């Protein structure tokens, strides 16, 4: 099923080279064609393998991200337009998405490459910044889209609309629009709900709201969220997607967030259990 595999790795982690060598030995044993991103090429020093800036344009069946969920998100942004499956080797901390440990590589990957795996789709968000009636900036997100304060020590004002209906005006540090995937990321630390990845939903989660009754709201996944910026001056608010700063916002900017038409295709070992992952990563009983 998988004949051409792309590898992408986390930068600056001393544990990564050994894991990459183990993975490369496995892929060579399976006689698979391997493509490396530049970070992998630097760590492996494998001049005979194809090295690419991104995997776009290459006939790759599967991308394996070696690191943590952040590395997997970086890979997801590269391949989201191309329906390539994505698998994570967890050398990070939590690993909600990257769920195979380095020690499990031979056993787990043998089963996966023999066709014994679970595949799931994770929704993407698309965001647009509209200024004076024109689209200024656009970016996708797997986890979340944030409108948040920047360079000031006070709250900002945001007007929230859902499907063109006014929800409320809030004074806060910002707001998160989260996918089910992102519900266990930043949104969780802000008191947001945990959404099962199979449901079609979004969560609106306020950041440090001034009004204590301002609670997270769960919306239908087809909802169109619009956030109107009410900061006093330019440079007091930013748009951030999946932890990457997108652009500076000025008063009256409108940030539109909705579900993208495409999705991420994640591969898990057979028997993958989302609730087992939650128990392990969140230290539930």
CATH number, position 102: 3.40.50.10330
Which range marks the domain in which residue 62 is found? 4-115
Write out the two tokens for 264: 């991420």
Examine residue 276 and state whether it is found in any structural domain, yes or no.
no
**32/151 same-domain check:** no
> pLDDT for 67-91, tens place per residue?
989 999 999 988 888 889 999 999 9
* pLDDT level of residue 198 (50, 70, 90 thresholds): very high
Question: CA 283 to CA 56: how far, in whole Å?
Answer: 38
- Catalytic residue numbers read 69
Examine residue 142 and state whether it is found in any structural domain, yes or no.
yes
Report the number of distinct structural domains present in the chain.
2
- At a CB cut-off of 8 Å and minimum separation 6, what does 265 contact? 83, 84, 85, 86, 119, 120, 121
**138/255 same-domain check:** yes
> pLDDT for 245-281, tens place per residue?
899 999 999 999 999 999 999 999 999 999 999 998 8
* pLDDT level of residue 41 (50, 70, 90 thresholds): confident
Query: How many CB atoms within 10 Å of residue 18?
Result: 12
At residue 197, φ and ψ (nearest 5 deg) are -65, -15
> pLDDT for 204-247, tens place per residue?
999 999 998 999 999 999 999 999 999 888 889 999 999 998 99
pLDDT of residue 83: 83
**170/198 same-domain check:** yes
pLDDT of residue 51: 76
**192/72 same-domain check:** no
> pLDDT for 88-126, tens place per residue?
999 977 678 888 999 999 999 999 999 999 999 999 999
pLDDT of residue 155: 95
**54/101 same-domain check:** yes
Examine residue 61 and state whether it is found in any structural domain, yes or no.
yes
Residue 192 predicted with pLDDT over 70: yes
């Amino acid at each position: 099923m998988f004949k051409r595999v792309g590898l992408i790795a986390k930068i600056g982690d001393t544990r990564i080279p050994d894991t990459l060598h183990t993975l490369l030995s496995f892929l060579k044993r399976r006689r698979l064609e391997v493509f490396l991103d530049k970070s992998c090429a630097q760590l492996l020093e494998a001049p005979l393998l194809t090295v690419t800036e991104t995997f776009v344009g290459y006939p790759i069946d599967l991308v394996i991200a070696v690191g943590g969920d952040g590395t997997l998100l970086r890979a997801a942004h590269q391949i989201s337009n191309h329906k390539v499956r994505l698998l994570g080797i967890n050398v990070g901390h939590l690993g909600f998405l990257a769920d195979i440990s380095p020690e499990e590589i031979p056993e787990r990957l043998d089963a996966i490459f023999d066709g014994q795996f679970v595949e799931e789709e994770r929704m993407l968000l698309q965001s647009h910044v509209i200024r004076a009636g024109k689209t200024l900036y656009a970016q996708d997100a797997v986890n979340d889209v944030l409108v948040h304060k920047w360079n000031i020590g006070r709250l900002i004002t945001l007007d929230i609309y859902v499907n063109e209906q006014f929800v409320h005006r809030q004074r806060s540090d910002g707001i998160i629009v989260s996918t089910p995937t992102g519900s266990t990321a930043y949104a969780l630390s802000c008191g947001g709900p945990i959404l099962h990845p199979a449901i079609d939903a979004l969560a609106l989660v306020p950041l440090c709201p001034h009004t204590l009754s301002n609670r997270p709201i769960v919306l239908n996944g087809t909802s169109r969220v619009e956030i109107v910026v009410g900061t006093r001056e330019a440079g007091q608010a930013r748009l951030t997607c999946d932890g990457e700063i997108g652009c500076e916002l000025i008063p009256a900017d409108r940030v539109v967030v909705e579900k993208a038409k495409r999705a991420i295709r994640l591969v898990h070992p057979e028997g993958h259990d989302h609730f087992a992952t939650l128990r392990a990563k969140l230290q539930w009983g």
